[in-house]
Amino acid sequence: MEIISMQYALETIDKWGQSTADSFSHYQEIIDKELWRVAGFDTMTDCAQWVAQRFNLNKGQLAARAVEVLPAIEAEAKERQIRKPVDNSVKEFLPEQIPQARDTAGQMFGVSGRMVSDAKAIQKQSPETFEQVRRGSMSIQQAKAEVKDIRQERDAKAKASIIRNWYDLSTWEALSTNEQDALIKTSSNHKFNTTNDNVEWARYTWNPITGCLHNCTYCYARDIAARFYRHLPENDRFQPVFYPERLTAPNNTPQKDLTQFDNPVDQMGYKNVFVCSMADLFGKWVPEDWIEAVLTQIRNNPQWTFLLLSKFPIRMAEFDYPDNIWLGTTVDYRYAVERAEKAFTKIKQSGFNGVCWLSCEPMMERLTFNSLDMFDWLTMGGSSKSTQTPEYKPPFEDIVHLYNQAKQANCQVYFKTNLLGDRIREYPNL
């Protein structure tokens, strides 16, 4: 049998009374080894009251100590319950709901069971605030007020997250992984937007992400956002923004009966969806989980064909794609030629079976490619007037130069409305 000295018992009790992180372990040892008895106390309650007087603990500190011993008291109560004869009317034993344990802990330290309950609630809501109470730097009443403020702020944030339907980069990064996952799984009634007759090759647009940081001077999308995105900050309406509730639009949008159309262009157009027409899905600033959320919906909705267009083809080439996708990249200046060729050679070699397309809109200078064999479709256009730039139409010689390159590669060519008066309109796979 272990022989414990009174000095050791008193030192352990003394350590328990100090405001340290190990105080509860010292309490457990006092109970397990009955050190309070070795130290000469008649009851554990006498021991606790002696500690309170020795360290001049205030009411809050006493209640905090009571909370720390609650688990042991509840465990002991549960053990006694187990040893009692079985009562079939009792479905479950929940010691935390039995006031006797709370009152017993309170009696040990000379505080009410109600105060013990308050301290326990503080511990649950804000461990940091509870620690201040335990150390004596904050009263129970002050802690209750602080916890109330914390709870109200937390509730307000939760309510805001429910009301909010868009997330910029900073608000998204502030969310926990579980919160982000829950939002990505959000279900809604959102559907695709429809396009006009000038975009007969894709009758729908889908923008679960908007905004771009390329800062192209000729950008028409930025002007549209500045005019219509009034839910965003006035001076920052083209910042990258994610709308999780728009993710389910492919599933929510009913598809027309394509057999009703005699024109194969209509059959194609009413199946095609232009994705992120108001953004660059593969911009280096776009979080990977945003991209994967969009691609997951694309994989889950093979009834549609989704058209993706990016000025970051190198990043585009890093992902895996189903066959119901057209992958495209924009080349407006000569510097973008090499990266487009490199990225789409990689995409073709990866076994991708969808359409690969090249958008030279706006074609701001004469473009010469080593090869266009990696592309199935070329769209060419000028630059429409924007708030920062005038309208621009490339020289006819530059148009012919690029057109001839496309024809040598058996690439279909499509002229946009802002290129020439008479338009060439060819389509892939038709």
Task: Provide, rounded to the nearest whole percent, the portion of the chain with pLDDT above 70.
Answer: 90
What's the pLDDT tens digit per position in 273-332?
999 999 999 999 999 999 999 999 999 999 999 999 999 999 999 999 999 999 999 999
Q: What is the rounded average pLDDT of the residues 401-424? A: 90
State how far the alpha carbon of 414 is from the alpha carbons of 25, 41, 403, 429, in Å: 77, 95, 10, 13
pLDDT of residue 93: 39
The pLDDT of residue 48: 82
Model confidence pLDDT, tens digit, residues 380-398: 999 988 999 999 999 999 9
Per-residue pLDDT tens over the stretch 223-243: 999 999 988 888 889 999 999
Question: CB neighbours of 16 closer than 8 A, spacing ≥ 6?
Answer: 23, 26, 27, 30, 51
DSSP state of 256: P
In the chain, CATH 3.20.20 covers 184-415
**CB neighbour burial string for 96-108, b if at least 16 within 10 angstroms, e if fewer:** eebeebbbbbbbb
CATH of 184-415, one of 3.30.2390, 3.40.50, 3.20.20, 3.30.390: 3.20.20
Beta carbons of 82 and 73 less than 8 angstroms apart: no
Average confidence score pLDDT of the chain: 88
Span between the terminal Cα atoms of the chain, in Å: 93
The contacts of residue 187 (CB under 8 Å, 6+ apart) are 248
Angle at 75 between CA 71 and CA 80, to 5 degrees: 150
Q: How confident is the model at residue 98 (pLDDT cuts 50, 70, 90)?
A: very low
- Give, in order, the Cα–Cα distances in Å from 40 to each of 34, 44, 226, 253: 10, 10, 79, 79
Confidence at residue 238, expressed as pLDDT on a 0 to 100 scale: 92
Mean local confidence (pLDDT), 174-194: 92
